[in-house]
């Protein structure tokens, strides 16, 4: 390996980081992580911290999950790759599809289409939802509805339904026919409504209005995250997603649950759809499906949608979509081992308990530090702190504030993620009570340093 000085000097010389201005990487060298164990990561200087980011919402079982590593190694020996395009399959992907069918059965999802990650999964669901309507003889249903503040990856389809200008403006024009409704975000919304239940109803009315305006017969699908993640962790009121599902059903619109973060226990429920008692038509997953050890994803498909494709007699149901790595046997082996560990450890239960501990802790921090405008959580290990310059006006914090909090928290034992004015917490689902306490005390020190 190149020595430490070489790595520090060259990080931004020859590589561009995602979601970062190249000049910023040159000016502010990132932490270079070189090893990890359990829920802790270690940087090139030997500084070890609790990873409150959980990789990128994906290392649910931590960094030392031996059964997954063993499964990957064994699969590389047995069959490192074979495609599942027409005419071939592989043993591991068949086994995985059966396992996922059982896992997602309570959500009414019975078929799997495999991908290489979250953006691929979103793209797949968006495409298949248009095709579904074409098979059914409703080719005019081509539009998509989604939530402002939602995040659905970075392919053109996903960026078009994304609800955050940061991921859109530089890449416009995006897909035509994508329309957004207000997010059920009580801290800031165009209705000035702070009551989550009332706000949910107002957002549902906005959805109803948009459907009427566009014409239900022109809309293919509505896509939403059960708990909005990258947009700043926004848990909707419990009435919201069921309300969306009912409205979609009434209007013949398919519901895509983007569960790239929420599937596999992060919210305290096994899936975000199950948290709200909703059965979507498609569910996009990726990230924790292999505990991040292999880039992989799956779109789960509802039985009713599957029947339309499988019973087609029009010749319109051939799937003209797929990735070289759809159903990669090493990814499938990793996912099988991950699912087995995820269920054996019942990580959803720990996510709920540790999530409650962290949410209580964040409320205490809010009472202590005026730079905290809002804290969000309450559904497992998805939490956020929204920083403000002034609580009364909710003005944006000074630019140096998030960076200072993050830096001091890191020095004090926890890696946290900054996204705009938000600090986002998404630690591994296997963190202990003591690990969660380290995260809270590091954040306390970060805010005390302002």
Ligand X SMILES: Cc1ncc(COP(=O)(O)O)c(C=O)c1O
Q: Which CB atom, from 233 or from 245, has the smaller least distance to ligand X?
A: 233
Q: Which of 107, 225, 374, 386 binds ligand X (CB under 6 A)?
A: 225
CB of 225 to ligand X, least distance (A): 5
Write the binding mask 267 to 286 for ligand X: x where contact by CB under 6 A, - elsewhere: -------------------x
Cβ(200)–Cβ(236) below 8 Å: yes
> How buried is residue 194: exposed, middle or buried, by Cβ count under 10 Å (0-12/13-18/19+)?
exposed
Q: Which CB atom, from 12 or from 122, has the smaller least distance to ligand X?
A: 122
Stretch that binds ligand X, among 96-104, 147-155, 209-217, 241-249 (CB under 6 A): 147-155
For the stretch 130-137, contacts whose Cβ atoms lie closer than 8 Å and that sit 24 or more positions apart, written own/partner, are 130/220, 130/221, 131/309, 131/316, 131/317, 131/319, 132/220, 132/254, 132/281, 132/305, 132/308, 132/309, 133/220, 133/254, 134/316, 135/308, 135/309, 135/312, 135/314, 135/316, 135/317, 136/308, 137/314
Stretch that binds ligand X, among 70-78, 187-195, 206-214, 258-266 (CB under 6 A): 258-266
Q: Which CB atom, from 131 or from 146, has the smaller least distance to ligand X?
A: 146
Q: Which CB atom, from 153 or from 268, has the smaller least distance to ligand X?
A: 153
Stretch that binds ligand X, among 97-105, 118-126, 267-275, 365-373 (CB under 6 A): 118-126
- Establish whether the linkage from the previous residue to 247 is cis, with ω within 30° of 0: no
Cβ(206)–Cβ(167) below 8 Å: no
Residue 450 to residue 438: CA distance in whole angstroms? 19
Going by C-alpha positions, the residue among 28, 15, 43, 12 that lies closest to residue 402 is 28
Q: Which of 63, 113, 114, 151 binds ligand X (CB under 6 A)?
A: 151
CB of 155 to ligand X, least distance (A): 8
Q: What is the DSSP letter of 110?
A: E
Please give the C-alpha separations between residue 62 and each of 138, 342, 427, in angstroms, as whole numbers: 46, 11, 9
Residue 159 interacting with ligand X (CB under 6 A): no
Q: Which of 119, 160, 271, 422 binds ligand X (CB under 6 A)?
A: 119
Stretch that binds ligand X, among 2-10, 151-159, 177-185, 431-439 (CB under 6 A): 151-159
Using CB atoms, what's the residue nearest to ligand X? 118
Residue 230 interacting with ligand X (CB under 6 A): yes
Q: Which CB atom, from 52 or from 438, has the smaller least distance to ligand X?
A: 52
Write the binding mask 285 to 324 for ligand X: x where contact by CB under 6 A, - elsewhere: -x--------------------------------------
Q: Which of 152, 266, 274, 379 binds ligand X (CB under 6 A)?
A: 152
CB of 19 to ligand X, least distance (A): 10
Stretch that binds ligand X, among 1-9, 87-95, 111-119, 317-325 (CB under 6 A): 111-119
CB of 118 to ligand X, least distance (A): 2
Q: Which CB atom, from 110 or from 164, has the smaller least distance to ligand X?
A: 164
Residue 110 interacting with ligand X (CB under 6 A): no
Residue 229 interacting with ligand X (CB under 6 A): yes
Q: Which CB atom, from 383 or from 440, has the smaller least distance to ligand X?
A: 383
Residue 261 interacting with ligand X (CB under 6 A): yes
CB of 15 to ligand X, least distance (A): 17
Going by C-alpha positions, the residue among 157, 103, 100, 113 that lies closest to residue 305 is 113
Please give the C-alpha separations between residue 381 and each of 7, 88, 118, 269, 354, in angstroms, as whole numbers: 33, 39, 19, 11, 7
H-helix or E-strand spanning residue 378: none
With vertex at residue 52, the alpha carbon angle to CA 283 and CA 340, rounded to the nearest 5 degrees, is 45
Residue 379 interacting with ligand X (CB under 6 A): no
Q: What is the DSSP secondary-structure string of 293-335?
A: SS--EEEEEEHHHHHHHHT--SS--------TTTT-HHHHHHH
Q: Residues in contact with ligand X, total (CB under 6 A)?
A: 14
The residue assigned the tokens 């910023």 is: 24
Going by C-alpha positions, the residue among 260, 330, 271 that lies closest to residue 297 is 260
Residue 59 interacting with ligand X (CB under 6 A): no
Q: What is the DSSP letter of 192?
A: -
CB of 107 to ligand X, least distance (A): 16
Residue 402 to residue 450: CA distance in whole angstroms? 10
Contact residues: ligand X, CB under 6 A: 117-119, 122, 151-153, 225, 229-230, 258, 260-261, 286
């Amino acid at each position: 390996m190149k020595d430490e000085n070489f790595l520090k000097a060259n990080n931004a010389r020859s590589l561009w980081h995602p979601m970062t201005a190249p000049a910023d990487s040159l000016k502010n060298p990132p932490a270079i992580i070189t090893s990890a164990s359990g829920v802790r990561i270690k940087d090139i200087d030997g500084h070890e911290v609790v990873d409150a980011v959980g990789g990128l919402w994906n290392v649910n079982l931590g960094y030392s999950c031996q059964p997954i590593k063993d499964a990957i190694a064994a699969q590389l020996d047995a069959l490192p790759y074979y495609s599942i395009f027409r005419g071939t399959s592989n043993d591991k992907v068949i086994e995985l599809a059966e396992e996922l069918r059982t896992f997602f059965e309570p959500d009414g999802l019975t078929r799997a289409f495999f991908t290489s990650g979250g953006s691929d999964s979103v793209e797949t669901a968006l495409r298949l939802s248009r095709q579904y309507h074409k098979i059914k003889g409703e080719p005019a249903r081509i539009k998509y509805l989604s939530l402002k503040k939602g995040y659905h990856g970075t392919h053109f389809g996903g960026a078009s339904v994304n609800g955050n200008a940061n991921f859109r403006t530089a890449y416009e024009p995006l897909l035509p026919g994508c329309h957004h409704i207000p997010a059920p975000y009580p801290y800031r919304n165009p209705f000035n409504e702070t009551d989550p239940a009332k706000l949910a109803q107002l957002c549902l009315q906005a959805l109803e209005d948009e459907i009427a305006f566009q014409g239900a017969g022109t809309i293919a699908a509505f896509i939403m995250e059960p708990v909005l993640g990258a947009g700043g962790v926004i848990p909707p009121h419990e009435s919201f997603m069921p309300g969306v599902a009912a409205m979609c059903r009434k209007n013949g619109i398919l519901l895509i649950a983007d569960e790239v973060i929420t599937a596999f226990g992060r919210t305290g429920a096994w899936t975000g759809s199950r948290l709200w008692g909703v059965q979507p038509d498609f569910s996009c997953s990726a990230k924790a499906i292999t505990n991040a050890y292999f880039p992989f994803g799956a779109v789960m498909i509802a039985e009713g949608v599957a029947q339309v494709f499988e019973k087609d007699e029009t010749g319109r149901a051939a799937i003209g979509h797929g990735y070289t790595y759809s159903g990669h046997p090493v990814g499938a082996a990793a996912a099988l081992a991950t699912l087995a560990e995820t269920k054996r450890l019942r990580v959803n239960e720990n996510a709920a308990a540790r999530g409650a501990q962290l949410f209580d802790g964040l409320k205490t921090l809010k009472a202590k530090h005026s730079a905290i405008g809002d804290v969000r959580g309450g559904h497992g290990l998805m939490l956020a702190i929204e920083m403000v310059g002034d609580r009364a006006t909710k003005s944006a914090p000074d630019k140096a504030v998030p960076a200072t909090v993050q830096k001091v928290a890191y020095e004090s034992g926890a890696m946290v993620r900054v996204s705009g004015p938000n600090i986002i917490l998404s630690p591994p689902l296997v963190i202990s009570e003591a690990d969660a306490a380290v995260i809270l005390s590091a954040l306390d020190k970060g805010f005390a340093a302002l």
